[in-house]
Structure 1
Amino acid sequence: MRAVLLAAGLGTRLGGQPKAALRHPAGGTLLERSVAALRAAGVAEVSVVLGPYRERLLPRVQACGAWPLLHTLAAPSLIDSQRLALSEHTARPSGAAPDVMLLLADLPLLHAEHLRPVLAAWQARAAGIQALMPVVNGQRGHPVVLSGEAVAGVLAQPVERGVRAWLATHPQAVQPLALNDAAYITDVDTPEDVARLGLSNS
């Protein structure tokens, strides 16, 4: 299993700043804490997609021992980041299990204890399941886990279509994982979110 953190957003609703660089009240940035959570859950290989704020985020990615994936686009969309992550995933040696976990880099409540049940459910999935995602009270969350077959399917779509489009057209291959913790669906978009979650600029 590999993991890719998507940290290339523009942060426009936060006044133009990288959400992954926000500092958590318990210490560390959201980026650093996400990488640490993945490692503690047993995911050793972590990549991070970076966009317009790479000068601030790249040193942190390198300090974490994660692999940076750099956009050439000035203002990449989420789909652009997904496709870059999956393209890089297929280009590197995959070994026997080319599965990949995609998650946003601005999930301040997500810890290793939240990732372990997702990984366990993926290992226990039924035959034919190519994707898995947490669902909390009917709302899709993160991380999303994709098999090698699903990755190939996403990339085979037109470039304007990403993971969500593939999931929508292959419902029989998708396993929703019903969970009750808001950590899977809590991200940071606005200054109000920053204040409510006790975050600060790093």
Structure 2
Amino acid sequence: MSVGEERVPDPAPTPAAILLAAGLGRRLGGVPKFALRIDGLSLFERLVDALRQSGIDDIGAVIGPYADRLLPLAQRCGVRVVWQGVPGAPLACSQRLAVQDHRARQMPRLRRDLLLLVADLPLLTDADIVLLLHAWRARPPAVQALVPVVDGVRGHPVCLSWEAASAVDRLPPAQGVRDWLAGAGDAVQRLVTDRVAHVTDVDTPEDLAALRRRLWPRSVDW
């Protein structure tokens, strides 16, 4: 670099992503929600493909129950597995495992940001993720987290800076991302959008029936 030439900062590395797929699916009768298939492709595979198409190549998944179903999917997709060994543990527990895995793998070199998302988002596409990433890269310097909000409902993925992920990791054991967001004030930015993919999940039989109506005549099955 010549004298007087201004150095252009290196672009921030693309965030990593971790899918939270350790739920029991109790409200659906005890079924692995990530294995729900749309036109023969599981939600897990669809989400991994959407993340990769958006430019994210560092992808992990927190799994626990139904490992016999999810592990082959994760291996086929080339996704790193983070084990959740407590059946029925709350989502906050999976979130803590996710940020711990992320920090352990990134330190001390990359310190990438992190996208956290539940594994039952049937409508989420790479276009939704790309728009979220664009907003993340354009955020003010003080913002450490970005949350999509549709009609007042918070959705996924949640974007966390390295600093925010580290702060979540320092919380008391029973607390998770929601607890940190609640106390982070202006460090949290809401991305208000009408893209319902961010808030459409499959928790109940009613959710499943609504999804089938929305996607008909496409097949939606287990």
Could you tell me which residue of structure 2 aligns to residue 89 of structure 1?
Answer: 102
Choose 192-201 or 74-83, whichever is displaced more.
Answer: 192-201
Aligned-pair CA distance for 1:77: 1.1
In structure 2, give the amino acid aligned to 1:175. Q
Could you tell me which residue of structure 2 aligns to residue 127 of structure 1?
Answer: 141
Q: How far, CA to CA, are the matches of 1:196 and 1:177 in structure 2?
A: 25
Query: Is 1:145 matched with 2:166?
Result: no
Query: Is 1:200 matched with 2:221?
Result: yes
Q: Is the 8 A contact 1:8 1:50 kept in 2?
A: yes
- Aligned match of 1:105 in 119, 130, 148? 119
Provide, for residues 89-112 of structure 1, a one-character-per-residue CA deviation record: whole Å limited to 9, x for no partner. 011135434200000100000000
Query: Is 1:65 matched with 2:78?
Result: yes
In structure 2, give the amino acid aligned to 1:200. D
Provide, for residues 117-136 of structure 1, a one-character-per-residue CA deviation record: whole Å limited to 9, x for no partner. 10011111101110001111
- Aligned match of 1:175 in 189, 193, 212? 189
Provide, for residues 21-53 of structure 1, a one-character-per-residue CA deviation record: whole Å limited to 9, x for no partner. 0111x3300000000000000111110110111
In structure 1, give the amino acid aligned to 2:134. A
Q: Is the 8 A contact 2:18 2:60 kept in 1?
A: yes
What's the C-alpha RMSD, in Å, of the aligned pairs? 1.1
Could you tell me which residue of structure 1 aligns to residue 128 of structure 2?
Answer: 114
In structure 2, give the amino acid aligned to 1:65. G
Provide, for residues 35-86 of structure 1, a one-character-per-residue CA deviation record: whole Å limited to 9, x for no partner. 0000000111110110111111110011001111111212221001000000
Q: Is the 8 A contact 2:24 2:87 kept in 1?
A: no
Structure 2: tracts of 5 or more residues without a match: 1-14, 213-219
Q: How far, CA to CA, are the matches of 2:90 and 2:180 in structure 1?
A: 17
Q: Is the 8 A contact 1:194 1:200 kept in 2?
A: no
- Aligned match of 1:34 in 43, 47, 54? 47
Secondary structure (helix, strand or coil) at the match of 2:221 reads: coil
Choose 134-143 or 69-78, whichever is displaced more.
Answer: 69-78
Tell me the number of residue pairs that the alignment of Structure 1 and Structure 2 aligns.
Answer: 200
Q: How far, CA to CA, are the matches of 2:43 and 2:141 in structure 1?
A: 35
In structure 1, give the amino acid aligned to 2:18. V
- Aligned match of 2:66 in 45, 53, 78? 53
Q: How far, CA to CA, are the matches of 2:179 and 2:191 in structure 1?
A: 19
Provide, for residues 112-171 of structure 1, a one-character-per-residue CA deviation record: whole Å limited to 9, x for no partner. 010001001111110111000111111111000001110111111111111011011011
Aligned-pair CA distance for 1:196: 2.2
Q: Is the 8 A contact 1:51 1:76 kept in 2?
A: no
Secondary structure (helix, strand or coil) at the match of 1:159 reads: coil
Q: How far, CA to CA, are the matches of 1:112 and 1:91 in structure 2?
A: 27
Provide, for residues 163-188 of structure 1, a one-character-per-residue CA deviation record: whole Å limited to 9, x for no partner. 01101101110110111111110000
Percentage of identical aligned residues: 50
Aligned-pair CA distance for 1:192: 2.2
Whose Rg is larger? Answer: 2
TM-score by length of 2: 0.87
In structure 2, give the amino acid aligned to 1:88. D
Structure 1: tracts of 5 or more residues without a match: none
Q: Is the 8 A contact 2:16 2:114 kept in 1?
A: yes
TM-score by length of 1: 0.96
